[in-house]
C-alpha cells in the first residue's frame, strides 16, 4: 500500500527520464547495428559476416529481447506478459542462430587462412559468450516446459534466469567492445568514431543492468 502511494506520488520528471533513456537505448542499439552492417558490408567476404551477425545477435536481438520487458520502453507494452515472453524467446532464438553463424564465419575464415584459433582476448571471450548464450537458452526451457524442473518454483526459475541472463548480456557487451578493439575495426574508423562506437555497447549494457536490477528490487519491495 505504502509502495503504491510512493509510485503515485513519484515526480513526473522521473517517468519522462525513464521513457527517454529507454528510447535512447532502442536508438543506440539500432544505429550501432546498422553502422557495423554498413562498415562490414555483409556478403563481400566471409569475414564480413562475422561483425554483422555478432552485432545483430548481441546488440540488436538480445537488447530488444530484454527491452520488451521494460515498463517504460517496451514496444509491446500493452500486450500480456505471456505474449512478451513468447516474443522474448523468439528474439533470443534469433540471437543464438546469428551468434552461431557469426562464430562459424570467423572460425572457417581463420581455418581457410591457416590462422590459429581463439588466441586473442576477443576470440577467447567471444567463444565463451557464444557457449554461455547457448546454455542460457537451454536452461530457459523449464520456463516454457515447467515439468523439466520438478521441485523448482516458477518464481525461483525466473529469478535465476534474469540474473544469469544479465551476466550473459554483459559478456556479449564485453565481447562487442573487444571486437571494436580489433585491428580491423581500428583501421576502419577514425578516433572519434571509435569512441562513439564503443559508447554504444557500454550505454546499452548500463540501461539493461538498470532495467533488470530495478525489476528485481521492485519485486523485493512488493514482497516485504
Q: Which residues contact 99 (CB under 8 A, 6 or more apart)?
A: 53, 54, 57, 58, 129, 130, 133, 134
Asked if residues 41 and 48 have their Cβ atoms less than 8 Å apart, the reply is yes
CB of 55 to ligand HEM, least distance (A): 5
Q: CA 213 → CA 70, 74, 217, distances in Å?
A: 11, 16, 6
Nearer to ligand HEM, 60 or 185 (CB): 185
Rg (CA), the chain: 19
- Cβ atoms 29, 207 nearer than 8 A: no
Binding site for ligand HEM (CB under 6 A): 36, 50-51, 54-55, 58, 103, 106-107, 110, 117-118, 120, 122-123, 126-127, 129-130, 172, 175-176, 179-180, 182, 184-185
Q: Which is nearer to ligand HEM, 70 or 129 (CB)?
A: 129
Q: Which residue's beta carbon is nearest to the bound ligand HEM?
A: 126
Beta carbon of residue 133, minimum distance to ligand HEM (angstroms, whole number): 8
How many whole angstroms from its chain centre is CA 46?
A: 24
* Cβ within 8 Å of residue 18, ≥6 positions away: 72, 73
Q: How far is the CB of 110 from ligand HEM (least distance, A)?
A: 4
Q: 83 or 119: whose CB is closer to ligand HEM?
A: 119
Tell me whether residue 152 or residue 184 sits nearer to ligand HEM (CB atom): 184
Min separation Cβ 34 and ligand HEM, Å: 13
Q: Please state the closest distance from residue 99 (CB atom) to ligand HEM, in A.
A: 6
Query: Hey, what's the cell of 74?
Result: 517496451
In the complex with ligand HEM, the residue whose CB is nearer, 18 or 171, is 171
Please, are residues 35 and 51 in contact by the beta-carbon 8 Å criterion? no
Amino acid at each position: 500500500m505504502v509502495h503504491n502511494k510512493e509510485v503515485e506520488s513519484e515526480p513526473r520528471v522521473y517517468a519522462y527520464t525513464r521513457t527517454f533513456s529507454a528510447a535512447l537505448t532502442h536508438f543506440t542499439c539500432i544505429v550501432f547495428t546498422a553502422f557495423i552492417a554498413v562498415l562490414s558490408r555483409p556478403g563481400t567476404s566471409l569475414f564480413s559476416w562475422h561483425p554483422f551477425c555478432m552485432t545483430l545477435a548481441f546488440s540488436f536481438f538480445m537488447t530488444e529481447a530484454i527491452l520488451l520487458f521494460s515498463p517504460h520502453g517496451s514496444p509491446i507494452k500493452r500486450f500480456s506478459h505471456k505474449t512478451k515472453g513468447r516474443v522474448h524467446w523468439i528474439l533470443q532464438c534469433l540471437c543464438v542462430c546469428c551468434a552461431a553463424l557469426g562464430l562459424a564465419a570467423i572460425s572457417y575464415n581463420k581455418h581457410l587462412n591457416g590462422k590459429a584459433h581463439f588466441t586473442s582476448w576477443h576470440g577467447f571471450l567471444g567463444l565463451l559468450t557464444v557457449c554461455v548464450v547457448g546454455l542460457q537458452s537451454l536452461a530457459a526451457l523449464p520456463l516454457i516446459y515447467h515439468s523439466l524442473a520438478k521441485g523448482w518454483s516458477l518464481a525461483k526459475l525466473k529469478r535465476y534466469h534474469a540474473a544469469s541472463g544479465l551476466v550473459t548480456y554483459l559478456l556479449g557487451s564485453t565481447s562487442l567492445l573487444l571486437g571494436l578493439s580489433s585491428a580491423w575495426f581500428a583501421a576502419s574508423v577514425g578516433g572519434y568514431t571509435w569512441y562513439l562506437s564503443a559508447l554504444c555497447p557500454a550505454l546499452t549494457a548500463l540501461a539493461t543492468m538498470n532495467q533488470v536490477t530495478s525489476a528485481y528490487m521492485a519485486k523485493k519491495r512488493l514482497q516485504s
